Amino acid sequence: MARIVNCVLLGTESEGLDRPTYPGELGQRIFDNVSKLAWQRWLGHQTMLINEYRLTPIEPKAREFLEQEMEKFFFGEGSEKPPDFEQV
């Protein structure tokens, strides 16, 4: 049976993640409050950020930036697209 969460991003009850997808306290908050669909939206947004800002996720500064953006995406004012981003 699917685990249901009240998704903070979508504002609806939706199927929750099967397991924590990120470590630590932020990972637990995501697991408790983010749906599978919202997580997929984040992955797309994260990919766009990595590509547009030419980030190397193994670098500590890039990881810190992505974690901050993830927190804003789910629990803050939202993560902005880069200023020059043009969707194809």
In the chain, where are the structural domains located? 4-75
Closest CA to 70 of 18, 62, 1: 62
Q: Which residues are CB-neighbours of 26 under 8 A, at least 6 positions away?
A: 67, 70, 71
Instruction: Tell me what percent of the residues of the chain surpass a pLDDT of 70.
Output: 95
Q: What is the model's pLDDT at position 80? A: 75
Mean pLDDT of 16-35: 96
Mean pLDDT of 21-41: 96
Instruction: Tell me what percent of the residues of the chain surpass a pLDDT of 90.
Output: 83
82 pLDDT above the threshold of 80: no
Topology of the domain covering 4-75: YggX-like (1.10.3880)
